């Protein structure tokens, strides 16, 4: 089959966002009067839990503390606000080759989609400030964490993205940075390229059709490259 769509993950894939997320989590905890602080090594482990609210809940279980759903939601909402402010002030940049590949896909009239566990507010902030004010309109489907009952590695987010685009799995390539994302995409039968982020570079990417440091190294990933990954 011919390549008809590219489906992007967000955090760690479009941009190296996780350090900004970690800083925003820590600031939201401090503002709420908690003495919790997630180190780089600790956050690397916590990222195995997809979704900010489940991640907070899991963390509390590891330290023997509890919080209500409303308290966790409040922390997460504040964290997302802080993250958006950081993005707006230049704390996050696109990963190499992302803008080029998106532009190449648009010019070739391929469909674009986002399939992520992050929230819509985080996606909006990233697209607006790192691509263009109207960048959300470039994507035929944006499926976020609040749109699914089960987050990655469950494939629901990709099932929904494919349905919204109206294409078969064999007509798309997914671009991910983590094992959870890889498992979600390949469970749908989508050929997947992985560009590990600074927080996922130690993970197992068995099953990926291609693993590269980013979309530019050691050679630029083009639509021709991605078409060659299709079954």
Catalytically active residues, by annotation: 9, 11
The Cα–Cα gap between 193 and 229 comes to: 9
Phi, psi of 15 (to 5 degrees): -150, 155
Nearest CA-CA partner of 192 in 204, 176, 180, 178: 176
The DSSP string of 160-229 is HHHHHHT--GGGEEEEESSHHHHHHHHHTT-EEEE---TTTTTS--TT-SEE-SSSSSSS---HHHHHTT
Give the CA count within 13 Å in the CB-facing half-sphere of 126: 30
Contact 231, 191 (CB under 8 A): yes
Q: Tokens 């080029």 appear where?
A: 100
- What is the distance, to the nearest Å, from the Cα of residue 150 to the centroid of all Cα atoms in its chain? 15
Reduce the DSSP state of residue 105 to 3 states and report it.
helix
């Amino acid at each position: 089959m011919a390549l008809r769509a590219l489906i992007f993950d967000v955090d760690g894939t479009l941009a190296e966002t996780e350090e900004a997320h970690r800083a925003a989590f820590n600031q939201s905890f401090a503002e709420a009067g908690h003495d919790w602080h997630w180190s780089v090594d600790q956050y690397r482990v916590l990222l195995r839990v997809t979704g900010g609210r489940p991640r907070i809940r899991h963390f509390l279980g590891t330290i023997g503390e509890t919080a209500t759903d409303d308290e966790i939601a409040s922390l997460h909402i504040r964290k997302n606000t802080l993250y958006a402010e950081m993005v707006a002030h230049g704390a996050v940049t696109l990963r190499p080759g992302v803008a080029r590949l998106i532009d190449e896909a648009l010019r070739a009239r391929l469909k674009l989609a986002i399939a992520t566990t992050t929230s819509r507010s985080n996606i909006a902030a990233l697209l607006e400030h790192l691509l263009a004010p109207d960048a959300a309109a470039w994507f035929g489907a944006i499926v976020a964490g609040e749109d699914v009952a089960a987050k990655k590695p469950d494939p629901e987010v990709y099932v929904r993205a494919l349905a919204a685009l109206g294409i078969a799995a064999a007509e798309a390539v997914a671009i991910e940075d983590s094992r959870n994302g890889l498992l979600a995409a390949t469970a749908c039968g989508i050929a997947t390229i992985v560009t590990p982020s600074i927080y996922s570079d130690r993970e197992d990417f068995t099953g990926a059709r291609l693993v590269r440091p980013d979309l530019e190294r050691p050679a630029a990933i083009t639509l021709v490259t991605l078409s060659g990954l299709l079954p």
